[in-house]
Amino acid sequence: MIKIQQDLFSIRQICESGQCFRLRPMEENRYSLVALGRYLELAQEGDAVTFYCSPEEYDAIWKNYFDLDADYGRYQDLAHSGSAYLIEAAGFGRGIRILRQDLWEMTVSFIISQQNNIKRIKKCIDFLCERYGEKKYSGDKAYYDFPKAAVLADADLDGLCACNLGYRSRYIRETARSVRDREISWDSLADLDYADAKAELMKLSGVGTKVADCICLFGLHHLDAFPVDTHIRQVLDKEYPDGFPYESFPGFSGILQQYIFYYDLKKGEISQ
């Protein structure tokens, strides 16, 4: 295992922020994560974080995955130059970081997210992984990898519907076939800028503006992507009737989106 000291990093806030659906609480201050084909447990007490993996695995995978080299203090300072609402939201969600997640997993996950809530999304993804993902082991701990596009491309709709995906079943299979058959520039998406990547993603079945922005932010790490769902739309209408000042936060408005989303979602439930 490896222990680090890290400010502006809260596993709990990231877990609850709606960007990662396979990061789960196990017990007080301890979490499990299935990502990038691996299983990880981690724990946090204040700024002290313990990763239950080798130092080599932490350096090669998890430090980048959790975006721990990025200067979120700078983002906090810039956010605090905004409106009173934004200052409050940024302070409330100060432990959130934008994870560097797998592009394919984010594509399917946010297709599932349409007209859905976080609890149900997690259940759908669990069903999907258990039915179509590869079973793996970390020591004596069994877990399921996220299913590959080629596997979902050949899935029958009844099997997908059995994962509680409903109308999204067809979207997922058609998207998997588009990726498998290289109907979009999938392999070069990471090399495209935000606007071009978003336009390419919107060629996929079931991927509209909001889902494409989520994939860009959480799967391609385009920090200027600003997904607008029902929560965010209500906040924008109330707090920014003349429009959100994106130009004041070039290149990182997606981080502010996460602060706002988390604040709107959780402010009535928890105290900081």
Residue pLDDT tens, the chain, 272 long: 999 999 999 999 999 999 999 999 998 899 999 999 999 999 999 999 999 999 999 999 999 999 999 999 999 999 999 899 999 999 999 999 999 999 999 999 999 998 889 999 999 999 999 999 999 999 999 999 999 999 999 999 999 999 999 999 999 999 999 999 999 989 999 999 999 999 999 999 999 999 999 999 999 999 999 999 988 999 999 999 999 999 999 999 999 999 999 999 988 664 43
Confidence at residue 269, expressed as pLDDT on a 0 to 100 scale: 66
Q: Tokens standing for 133? A: 């993902």
E strands, the chain, are 2-5, 23-27, 30-35, 38-45, 48-51, 135-138, 141-144
Confidence at residue 271, expressed as pLDDT on a 0 to 100 scale: 42
Q: Tokens standing for 177? A: 């076939």
Confidence at residue 268, expressed as pLDDT on a 0 to 100 scale: 67
Q: How far apart are CA 254 and CA 223, in angstroms?
A: 5
Confidence at residue 31, expressed as pLDDT on a 0 to 100 scale: 98
3-state secondary structure of 11: helix
**Cβ-based neighbours of 227, under 8 Å, separated by 6 or more:** 210, 213, 214, 217, 254, 257
Confidence at residue 177, expressed as pLDDT on a 0 to 100 scale: 97
Q: Are 33 and 42 in contact (CB under 8 A)?
A: yes
> Which positions are catalytic?
210
Confidence at residue 209, expressed as pLDDT on a 0 to 100 scale: 97
Confidence at residue 263, expressed as pLDDT on a 0 to 100 scale: 95
Q: How far apart are CA 142 and CA 68, in angstroms?
A: 27
Query: Which amino acid, one-letter code, is at 255?
Result: I
Confidence at residue 266, expressed as pLDDT on a 0 to 100 scale: 87
Q: Tokens standing for 136? A: 């793996």
b/e map of 126-151 (b: 16 or more CB within 10 Å)?
A: bebbeebbeeeeeeeeebbbbbebee
Q: What is the pTM of this model?
A: 0.94
Confidence at residue 272, expressed as pLDDT on a 0 to 100 scale: 39
Q: How far apart are CA 225 and CA 85, in angstroms?
A: 20
Q: Are 112 and 121 in contact (CB under 8 A)?
A: yes
